[in-house]
Structure 1
Amino acid sequence: MKLYDKKGRLLLACTLFLGGISAVLSAFISILLQRIIDAAVNSDMAAFSSLFFTTLIYLGVLGAMGFLEAYCGKLIIRSITRSLRDHIFSGVMSRTPGCFSSRNTADYLSALVNDVKLVEENHLIPFLLCAQMGVLFLTTLGILLYLSPLVTAVLFLFLVLMFTVPALLGKKMQRRQDACSEKLADFTARAKDFLNGYEVIRAYSMRPYILKKFTRINQDTAEKKLHADTLLAVNESFSDVLSAVSILVIVFVSSYLLMKGQITAGTLLALIQLSGTFVTPVVMLMQNIPKITGIRPVLEHLEEFSLTYQEAAEEEDLPAPAGLKKGITCSNVTFGYTPEQPVLKDISFTVTPGMKCALLGESGGGKTTLIRLLTGYYTDFEGDICYDGVSVKDLSPDRLNRLAAVIHQNIFLFDTDICENICLGSTFSKDRLDHAVKASGIWQFLPSLDNGLHTRTGEDGRNLSGGQRQRIAVARALIRSTPVIILDEGTSAIDRETAHEIEAGLLAQKELTVITITHHMDESLLDCYDKVYCLKDGRLSIA
């Protein structure tokens, strides 16, 4: 998956450059130590004093470089994680309805939260660290060769051993990281399901049962995480042991060379200090390379979600449609979720502009499926559905949404105020907003609210009644001058009086095309409809 755009690559290059300078400066501390000790041993006060001030300047530069490198690292992590979430969310929201509903919404939440966190912890941070450690290792290697080729050769023997373990654990780490990501997604899905079912859990005294299920799922998730972390622990412990052994060996070898008079006391201290800066990068590389390679399945998983974003064109800023000119035609439409079991069979009807049409049918008769076809939810059907002569298969989702609005039985409201739930991010004139508020009947209950249109609706509209939520859904369509409104059992969840008032208000608007799909018709409004159809067993007939 492509993590870095042009700006990100520039920031990455800057971070790596600063990290490289910091690493080089860290390695050259050993040379300073060598000269300070040799000056002290030789009682060279002039050199000692000069080195003291040089060291102060050196440490100031080292601190500044370290800060800049760390700050740039934080910037790039922020940039990448933000970009990842943007791409994933945009990709998910660009999916077709059928593709979107094929996955649990918790999978998307897990990708946005858990998987992005995994990428940060097991790819971005380790990658930046490995780059810096690589420069530190090469710089230290050069200084070691300059000071003592023998000590360098001894360290190389341990280097070979240190890289053996990551090579052996790499594939296993990938599999365990992938399994951990899947388990985290499953945990998020189950937790979300339990929280959404709070009312049922409480009403049916399910708390002990749900607690047991949650405890088991939580335990399974923790075990998968531990399973992946165990390999990291093995890798880290092995590298720590080799690190300690290699430093001890260098101490003995360097001390032997000092006793033989082949190196100075300052060189001894420099070699001991360099053995740490030589081994530390190797240990860090050994511990982090498996993390970087192991995160690959997670990146592929995120690429799947963000792929739609890369392929989808930007939504057109289209003007609101002037109205329905020719009407809606449904010609010989046959559709089934599986080819051998059609839900709709040879459906044909016409709805002219301004027409009020009702489709009656029992549950399971195909009403909801027909709505999904009318609104472009599925396009793999036989026959054709056209708006003003243009097939829904050729209409963009944005254009189709501006032609037809569906008012469902269950209305979703965002946790914001009423006004924003009507406008939904678009800007409308005050006159247009006032018209939608009046035509939908919202004005009737505004005086009872503390902040009028700016009253918060609460999570999923829990601060409002069913009728109030329904009127907001009507206002959403009216403010956009949507020429076609489809009522999908749109008033069945509220009291009869309110339902009658909302439906009658829509039917009274002459230029508005209304398609009501219901299993129970309000007899008092029957004469307001131009045509009434009956949908039974997937077939349509005039009632």
Structure 2
Amino acid sequence: MRYIRKHIGTRGLACFCVVDFLFCLSSMGIALLLSALLDAATAAVAVGDVSPVVRLALTSCLYALVLGALRLASDALRALIVRDAMVNIREGAARGMIAGASCGRVCDSAEQLTVLGQNMDVLENDCITGSLGILESVFQITIGCIMLVLINPLVALISLAGMALPTLVPQLFGKRLSCQQQQVVEDAKSYNGRVRDTAQGGEVIRSFHVEQHVLDKLSGMIGRYQRHKADLNMTMACARSLASVVGIAMQFCIMGMTGVFAIWGYVTIGSIVAVTQLSGSVISPATELSDKISKLKSTYPILDRLDKPSDTPGARQEIAVCEPRRSIELDDVSFSYGDTDPAEGRLSNAPTTLRNCSKRFDAGKKYAIVGKSGCGKSTLLELLGGSLRPSSGHVLVDGRAGCVPDAAWVHQNVFLFDDTLRENIGLGGTFTDEQIGSALRLAGLDEVIAALPDGLDTPVGEGGGRLSGGERQRVAIARALLYGKTTLLVDEATSALDKETAARVEDTLLALDGVTLIAVTHQLDAEHAARYDEVLEMKDGRLAAM
């Protein structure tokens, strides 16, 4: 219920409880109505007057209409609660994923697919819908027991004992169900990851003719996943079966005892019918309650995962974002991918990527950072952009610590959404055609747009497959210009392009007036090097002018 209250609120839950309680009360009232009809018919046979039976029959018809209306209202409210709860839960999970990415956390796409896909279906069916079902079962059991007390307290006591036994079944299987659900969640994550890799690694698979090897690994993962799901379903089936056996046995006991009471004259024939109806309305919900509780407990690992914040050592937390107007500065910055000791401000024994780097990058100037692959250039760029926090020292924006620069990135592999070119450049922002046209011209994309069949409204395809590598780089530049970014962090953006295309992209970047450009690369020709305000070299974890 905590999740329903959290995502729906007390008012929505209260409305459902009132309507569902009235529906359960009306449903249980059928037993008393049947009892009254049978007793009236028995009396009518003795006195020859059927009018009471006719009146009760007409009342029963109206009763059925009211019951149908309550059922409709209850189901409608249930559907609305499930809808709103799942919208909020899915949006919350998506916000968590986006916030994690914004804070520099490493997001496992397979885990995210599992969280936003299969896990959500399990939560909808077994947690949200299941919790509402538990409420209804509790209402049915409570009302049924009260009505049985009105008929015969001893019968009610026996029914209460019979109801308690099926509800104890989840205690026998709860821990096992939780462990098995956790295993299924892990298997789903692994399976989604393998499917993702298979889909994205087609070129490698074809080139090295490893189709059978990949298929064998995928088949093994599928088999393990389905086997563990079957184990979970089997445990649930055992819990349901045991609860059903106990429930049916207790119902027979209650009916037998009621028959004895009828022979002794403690209850009427009509009461026997009422007890028959009510005992089923108590024992059956108790059996269902056992199943629903078992399923609800199996969702606890998923709920724990949603509640548990993920983090990556070195990733930044929420922090102020500032537009650099004068400079970005490294102040004696060191960084290690190992753990740090914030209390003592010292590095652990893990290898240090950057060592005591100090450098001021003035606004509006163009900087190139060169060095061998793996020397720490990209790490330096992530520290400047705020994706990583220094192990020691500070990154200053206009001389201030505690904030990160409002910068745009241009990577080697530019990410594009499977949408139109306009959406990929504007990213949902409201911009005039003149603003978009200006950004396109500065990024050198105007001729590319003119050649496309639908211009800016042309779909770029998955991963921007309709555009060349150089065109995707220019889209990233156009994004930054359109959003007025004055700082560009360029990470090996041209390394995968041919020489001519790489030169055009670099010319575009160097021609941007008023933009601070910090570009890292492992190769830089003399012609372009001369156009940078300063060329720096990263070597042995230190930054120095060339």
Common fold: TM-score over 0.5: yes
Please give the residue correspondences for 1:65-80 in structure 2 after superposition, counting only pairs within 5 Å.
65-80=70-85
| Partner of residue 350 from structure 1, selected from 338, 349, 360 | 360
Per the alignment, residue 270 of structure 1 pairs with 274
**Which amino acid is the alignment partner of residue 37 of structure 1?**
L
8 Å CA contact 1:418, 1:454 repeated in 2: yes
Q: 1:99 to 1:495 in 2, by over 3 A?
A: closer
In structure 2, C-alpha distance between the alignment counterparts of 1:185 and 1:71, rounded to whole Å? 34
In structure 1, C-alpha distance between the alignment counterparts of 2:469 and 2:476, rounded to whole Å? 11
Per the alignment, residue 436 of structure 1 pairs with 439
Per the alignment, residue 43 of structure 2 pairs with 42
Per the alignment, residue 455 of structure 1 pairs with 458
Per the alignment, residue 230 of structure 1 pairs with 234
**Which amino acid is the alignment partner of residue 481 of structure 2?**
L
TM-score by length of 1: 0.91
| Partner of residue 147 from structure 1, selected from 120, 134, 151 | 151
| Partner of residue 395 from structure 1, selected from 387, 403, 415 | 403
Task: For residues 91-138 of structure 1, give each alpha carbon's deviation from its aligned partner in whole angstroms, at most 9, with x where no partner exists.
Answer: 22222667621x522212212222222222222122111111111111
Q: 1:380 to 1:96 in 2, by over 3 A?
A: farther
Per the alignment, residue 206 of structure 2 pairs with 202
Q: Identity over the aligned pairs, expressed in percent?
A: 30
Q: CA deviation at 1:496?
A: 1.8
Q: 1:89 to 1:165 in 2, by over 3 A?
A: same
Task: For residues 177-231 of structure 1, give each alpha carbon's deviation from its aligned partner in whole angstroms, at most 9, with x where no partner exists.
Answer: 2232222222222222222222322332222222211121112112222222222
1:386 maps onto 2:396 in alignment: yes
Q: CA deviation at 1:344?
A: 1.5
In structure 2, C-alpha distance between the alignment counterparts of 1:284 and 1:180, rounded to whole Å? 23
In structure 2, C-alpha distance between the alignment counterparts of 1:291 and 1:345, rounded to whole Å? 53
| Partner of residue 192 from structure 1, selected from 192, 196, 201 | 196
Q: CA deviation at 1:65?
A: 0.6
Q: CA deviation at 1:20?
A: 0.8
Task: For residues 387-438 of structure 1, give each alpha carbon's deviation from its aligned partner in whole angstroms, at most 9, with x where no partner exists.
Answer: 32123xx115xxx23xx22211111001111111111122223222111100
| Partner of residue 503 from structure 1, selected from 482, 502, 506 | 506
Aligned residues: 528
In structure 1, C-alpha distance between the alignment counterparts of 2:319 and 2:122, rounded to whole Å? 31
**Which amino acid is the alignment partner of residue 293 of structure 1?**
K
Per the alignment, residue 329 of structure 2 pairs with 329
In structure 1, C-alpha distance between the alignment counterparts of 2:358 and 2:154, rounded to whole Å? 89
In structure 1, C-alpha distance between the alignment counterparts of 2:317 and 2:50, rounded to whole Å? 72
8 Å CA contact 2:7, 2:88 repeated in 1: no
Per the alignment, residue 307 of structure 2 pairs with 303
Q: CA deviation at 1:446?
A: 1.6
In structure 1, C-alpha distance between the alignment counterparts of 2:27 and 2:88, rounded to whole Å? 33
1:360 maps onto 2:360 in alignment: no
8 Å CA contact 2:103, 2:318 repeated in 1: no
Per the alignment, residue 469 of structure 2 pairs with 466
In structure 1, C-alpha distance between the alignment counterparts of 2:318 and 2:384, rounded to whole Å? 23
In structure 2, C-alpha distance between the alignment counterparts of 1:313 and 1:14, rounded to whole Å? 40
Query: Which SS does the other structure have where 1:380 is aligned?
Result: coil
Per the alignment, residue 132 of structure 2 pairs with 128
Please give the residue correspondences for 1:218-257 in structure 2 after superposition, counting only pairs within 5 Å.
218-257=222-261
Query: Which SS does the other structure have where 2:352 is aligned?
Result: coil
Per the alignment, residue 117 of structure 2 pairs with 113
CA RMSD, Structure 1 to Structure 2 (Å): 2.5
Q: CA deviation at 1:505?
A: 2.3
Per the alignment, residue 97 of structure 2 pairs with 92
1:21 maps onto 2:25 in alignment: no
Q: 1:528 to 1:489 in 2, by over 3 A?
A: same
**Which amino acid is the alignment partner of residue 25 of structure 1?**
S
8 Å CA contact 1:411, 1:470 repeated in 2: yes
8 Å CA contact 1:8, 1:79 repeated in 2: no
